Structure 1
């Protein structure tokens, strides 16, 4: 089933008779007085009104419009409103520091910036005038020095939707930025909707949303997953959609609208571990989904156990902002049963999507193919691959080789044809896999909320163990690492002491600099 165009997504869904009801954990920043329950006609009207306001502000066909605000699904509504005008939305997380926003806005040269007073004030405190980098600044939540209030622009009827070429830029998203200033990823209708969303909207057993489903999402809505996910899931027309913007205050919404399918950031699953006990809000979940980052066996095990369904499953997806999903694997309770020995349970990423994605494992130096069982760089070919890095096209070309995309990840193809992830190339540890070590340590240290293993030339790998109170019983550590390769003494931190991106990913380079007073790695970082 084909998804509608972004510009008219909600109008077209209404015309098709889709009756999905949307529940929010808090009101939209875009419409703070409109409550937490919305039907699709109301959402379509909100998109049209917003498009009219942006048109009044002078946004025109071909313009770039940057959006920087607190995490919420209204990023997608704003993207649809901007696309309706024939302009290109560039969705940026407000978790980015003002200095990074300054770089990205300079590359974008947007005709308009839609933002909040908090974002502009944060820039002012750091000496970064974000309003001076854009044609006009529009405050969602009111006026600010140099910014006009969005409410003051409303009232004019929206213009008719402007059709766009399928190969013209549609949306710009940024990468996670774990290694520095994020890259600006350019997607088109052909790559983002036809290449990614259409495939996800195809009816498949188990993983596709059903008419009776209550579909819940708790992701970072500024990132590349949000638009294709929205288009695909609403095209399938589930009964209800539950949107979580603030994971730390989500419990009331989860209990009021218990989900049957749940997609969340790996970091959010970790933060929700306390909700996996008997009588929790996940008892009715038949399908859990994770994207964005690696997930470790204890997390998968806890959530599958929290479901009262007879056979709940976990869909593990590996992909990138640049490509969309690449491989899929369904995990069951049996698959993540506590192992009797070391094995990379969630490092086996499954197989490439049949009929749409191809994968090669190549030598990092020669890019020649390697046989099964030999570690190398992972290259992929998929119709969802982005068309460029805005302002850094040479960097994009360095990762695009004869129609194959260099993921920058290291892995191995097993004799059964599945893909086993080893590390990001920039984070590699010779002879080891940091992500496998992290799996094992998290399995063996029940109090650990997260484990991170950092490789630094000239010293043993450094394990960072994250606990609720920043302490770790030395005896627990001795038991956990007794048969592992030589590691440095663990660094024990709390969750908030670890530098993270807006999706909860650990900023490994920043953490390495803090611990080792430098950022030297074994990897080249050539394909980051």
Structure 2
């Protein structure tokens, strides 16, 4: 990964990368790059980090606003032998400080605003040296020791590339954090590049990237999925790559129109936010042949809207289910026909079959861990050679989720007779009354006026429904009709999108939302495997 851009440039990869805004680096004002230009930026950044004191085996924490330069900077850290740790600046301040203390990085790479929000004293405690990407260092008056600006290191030469063993740590990414402080997951070159990214560099029929493709990615670039995507996408030499950093549809629309995607990958939350664009007369998704979603469930109405928006004869929606610790575990493909039937056929709960030759799944009793027959719900365990090396600073927590060669996903589900997997809930969110995912699917299908439905499970009470609408108002008559055949639910709470606490990937922080609405974060599940 440290020489990825250089090797692609040497192979004459012609891809041009377009950004919706410049990188968060003071020296960079461009919004379009060739691969050789990106390779030069990686080399310059490697020189900055080396001049700031980072070297082989050191951890370099990168905390900044959401942008693809997370991966550019991570490659620079890898180039000098350091281990980049990509932390979303959207995490709560105390969570960030907790993660930084677990990491003990030699260098913190951030922006002036994030550094000020962390607090100078706490940032200094977390890392001995801080490099501000977008500004000068504060005056040397003793208030901010160890803080460098980009101008302090701008002319430093890059050391030669450092090659690490395939099983040494390569990168650290955090989990989403829907139920509390995220875990820090360490992947190696063998697991992330050898087992995950390499799988994506095959030009499979229909789903493989072609040289005439325009790839658009609208993601959270602090997460492991995009680091893996960066490793594979460039190697396939698509015509264009366009990067979308935010979820405002009006800001994303000009980029999507300037570079209409043929392959679109986005966060589930981004698909929800961009959905109004599908209804415009000249919608920007008309050329898409493949939509890709990961991270979280995408409910059937959203899938249908995008497949209808494509002018292709038979566009595909590829849904992947997996975790930061494992990479993708299953895939499912949706067509217009299957999406039309999805409310009956399984909706977002049907996550498809295990990746052939890559992963194995088994369902066990949550109390005894004995295997259960197909069709019976239980705890889902996974077995994959792509399993990460562990949690940084939480080895006991990692050990508690391993059962020999099997990994405890913490998800409840079942295997159907045809081998497909149906997810029901996270164990921490389970309730004996119903499946939250199943109910959310039904309600979003029955109430097209809502953007999202979330069921929370406070102990000893009926599930608490939270519906997200544009104006925070719910049509109560329509709601009563929609829930007529469901088990008893609590009084619905209507909120706007911005009133719901979210992770960097747009997932609902369920524990925080539960505390916000009830005053307690306790759930009906045990939470033993979060």
The corresponding residue for 2:141 is none
2:436 to 413, 419, 434: 434
2:13 to 15, 18, 30: 18
The corresponding residue for 2:187 is 187
Contact 1:7-1:83 within 8 A present in 2 as well: yes
How far 1:207 sits from its partner (Å)? 1.6
The corresponding residue for 1:148 is 148
The corresponding residue for 1:205 is 205
Aligned residues between the structures = 520
1:407 to 409, 412, 420: 409
Instruction: Provide the secondary structure at the position in 2 that maps to 1:67.
Output: strand
The corresponding residue for 1:217 is 217
Distance 1:54 1:274 in 2: 42
2:304 to 301, 305, 308: 301
How far 1:431 sits from its partner (Å)? 3.9
Superposition pairs of residues 58-457 of structure 1, within 5 angstroms: 58-124=53-119, 129-145=122-138, 146=144, 147-248=147-248, 249-277=251-279, 278-337=281-340, 342-457=344-459
The corresponding residue for 1:488 is 490
Distance 1:235 1:160 in 2: 22
Distance 2:195 2:433 in 1: 36
Distance 2:151 2:217 in 1: 28
Instruction: Provide the secondary structure at the position in 2 that maps to 1:129.
Output: helix
Return the TM-score normalized by structure 1. Answer: 0.96
Distance 1:31 1:299 in 2: 38
Instruction: Provide the secondary structure at the position in 1 that maps to 2:337.
Output: coil
Write out per-residue CA displacement over residues 292-331 of structure 1, whole angstroms, 9 at most, x where no aligned residue.
1111011101111111111111000001110111100000
Aligned-residue CA RMSD (Å): 1.3
Contact 1:102-1:128 within 8 A present in 2 as well: no
How far 1:22 sits from its partner (Å)? 0.5
**Cα 1:226/1:101, change in 2 over 3 Å:** same
Contact 2:433-2:487 within 8 A present in 1 as well: no
Contact 2:136-2:151 within 8 A present in 1 as well: no
Instruction: Provide the secondary structure at the position in 2 that maps to 1:176.
Output: coil
Contact 2:26-2:135 within 8 A present in 1 as well: no
Instruction: Provide the secondary structure at the position in 1 that maps to 2:340.
Output: coil
Instruction: Provide the secondary structure at the position in 2 that maps to 1:406.
Output: strand
Distance 1:57 1:496 in 2: 38
Write out per-residue CA displacement over residues 390-445 of structure 1, whole angstroms, 9 at most, x where no aligned residue.
00011011111111111100100001100000000001111411011001100111
Contact 1:114-1:139 within 8 A present in 2 as well: yes
How far 1:56 sits from its partner (Å)? 1.0
Instruction: Provide the secondary structure at the position in 1 that maps to 2:387.
Output: coil
How far 1:131 sits from its partner (Å)? 2.6
Write out per-residue CA displacement over residues 329-355 of structure 1, whole angstroms, 9 at most, x where no aligned residue.
00011111166x755322110001101
Q: Is there any run of 5+ residues in structure 1 with no aligned partner, and where?
A: 1-5
How far 1:383 sits from its partner (Å)? 1.8
Q: Is there any run of 5+ residues in structure 2 with no aligned partner, and where?
A: 139-143
Instruction: Provide the secondary structure at the position in 1 that maps to 2:198.
Output: helix
Instruction: Provide the secondary structure at the position in 2 that maps to 1:334.
Output: helix
Write out per-residue CA displacement over residues 17-68 of structure 1, whole angstroms, 9 at most, x where no aligned residue.
2111101111111256431110000000000011011111111111100000
The corresponding residue for 1:463 is 465
Distance 1:453 1:34 in 2: 43
How far 1:128 sits from its partner (Å)? 6.3
How far 1:250 sits from its partner (Å)? 1.4
Instruction: Provide the secondary structure at the position in 2 that maps to 1:379.
Output: strand
Contact 1:196-1:383 within 8 A present in 2 as well: no
- Runs of 4+ in structure 1 deviating by more than 4 angstroms, as ranges, are none
Superposition pairs of residues 26-37 of structure 1, within 5 angstroms: 26-30=21-25, 33-37=28-32
Distance 1:114 1:182 in 2: 20
Distance 2:345 2:113 in 1: 46
Distance 2:401 2:225 in 1: 21
